[in-house]
Amino acid sequence: MDRRDFMKLGAIAGAAGAGGVVAGEALAMPVNAAEAAKAASIVEASVSDLQAAMSAGKLTSKALVTQYLARIKSIDRAGPHINSIIELNPDALSIADALDKERKAKGPRGPLHGIPVLLKDNIATADKMQTTAGSLALVGAKAPRDAFLVSRLREAGAVILGKTNLSEWANIRSTRSTSGWSARGGQTKNPYALDRNTSGSSSGSGAAIAASLAAIAVGTETDGSITSPASICGLVGIKPTLGLVSRDGIIPIAHSQDTAGPMTRTVTDAALMLTAMAGVDQRDAATAGSSGKAADYSKFLDADGLKGARIGVARNAMGGNLRLQPAVDAALEVMKAKGAILIDVEVPNMNKYGDSELEVLLYELKADLNRYLAEFGTGAPVQTLKDVIAFNEKHRDKEMPYFDQELFIRAEAKGGLDSKEYLDALANNHKYSRAEGLDKVIADNKLDALFALTGGPAWLTDYVNGDHSGDGFSSPAAVAGYPHITVPAGFVAGLPVGVSFVAGAYAEATLIKLAYAFEQATRHRRAPAFKARADVGSQL
């Protein structure tokens, strides 16, 4: 298996299958069209725009939720039918109403007060919604509590609007799947060209926010599953340092690489989300390392943030697609004009942890999923990875009509996390991605960050051959556990492409500063037109 086909540009899952088991009922929630019509425009509206409207009395959270529900009904389940929402929160309107009353009585809790947010359907919520990773095997499981990051968002005053579709099991079931498909949710479509893919595994989060179906969304990443769909959907995505955001209550792949992060239309919104989501969690030991390091990331939104920054241009991480070169050249010219010091570099040893990365993921999948199911799987027909494999075989017509579960089977055959093979693979990952990888090139060149294309534009969705993703820049930061931000950088044939900034552990503030300055200087983000196909032949 070619690791770049499997991991590089994020998740997999494939078929244009049936709609959601639970989603159909949830999406039938009543929508007050008159109330929705009175609300301020939500298309491309930022968190700051929406807060300003609510503060001025021109909008309420309840009206905002109502308008998003109307848009979801007309775009997600009708019209272009992008199929990005797997389930809606039946309590969203009542939660918004309570937050409106609280705002009136006490004022807002903060910048996310009353703001609707979508969660990827692998993030547990102790409410009336399911948490299934898109799999029919987890339908019926009752989460005993919210995931820690969900508690943080609720405390910040956010309205949990619903769950997004994803590449089933976050792209760890098969090597030959198609991103954005799950047995429970069907196929998510790219809102820029409906025959194109959204990448994954945070496919629904990317498509939904690109289409303004909510203000903001949470994605999760093991390798590329935030940054790739964000780039392909013209969004900002942040994969934080491992441990900055708790992994508690998230259906896992691998604890050495898994993290959740924001997916938004602006760097400002991503900074506000990350501020709310980050925090030390006693249930996740990795977060102890972030004590004293999390910050109010909105303080780093500096339009002059590129001035004097030493940025390493990672030429060896950008592939050979000549049609993408104008986007790279234009981005470099902007950064140079804004005062950045650009240094051509090569990220060393990127080819030395491909096989070992997959070994680690398979070992950790077995251990971590079994642990998750022991706590969060009550009510589901499965309690272990072995049970999931058996369930998929029994329900092959629904779960495996287009691709199989060979990675699950390989994971189940692995031993424990004390095995020499696992420990050697993990050590190899950290050696070549950290000390002899990112740490080395950053230190040797005294860099503030590395720069590269996030990846190419969206490929055609293909249920026969699976994904056609090309090179991307997700793996070094993913394997190292270091932060990575992607920001829109233009279009190819009407399809978005993004550029990435990567740095060492807990360098989110620096990356946000650089990305914000780039965003403000370029303003590449634009709303999708839901075209049937890409503008083949057009240039940037």
* Residue 120 falls in the annotated catalytic set: yes
- Whether a cis peptide bond, with omega within 30° of 0, leads into 201 is yes
Strand order of the sheet with strand 449-453? 85-88, 159-164, 116-120, 216-221, 259-264, 236-239, 484-492, 495-502, 449-453, 310-314, 341-345
298, with CB counted inside 10 A (0-12, 13-18, 19+), is middle
**How many CA atoms are closer than 13 Å to the CA of 177, on its beta-carbon side?**
36
Give CA–CA dist 331/233, Å, rounded: 18
Catalytic residue among 120, 239, 338, 366: 120
First to last CA, the chain: 33
Contact (CB, 8 A) for 292 and 447: no
The strand pair at 449-453 and 495-502 is best described as: antiparallel
* Residue 41 falls in the annotated catalytic set: no
Catalytic residue among 225, 290, 433, 474: 225
3-state secondary structure of 451: strand
CA 510, distance to chain mean position in Å, is: 20
Name residue, tokens 């004390």. 418
Catalytic residue among 167, 179, 199, 201: 201
Contact (CB, 8 A) for 12 and 177: yes
Name residue, tokens 């010219």. 333
Residues annotated as part of the active site: 120, 201, 225
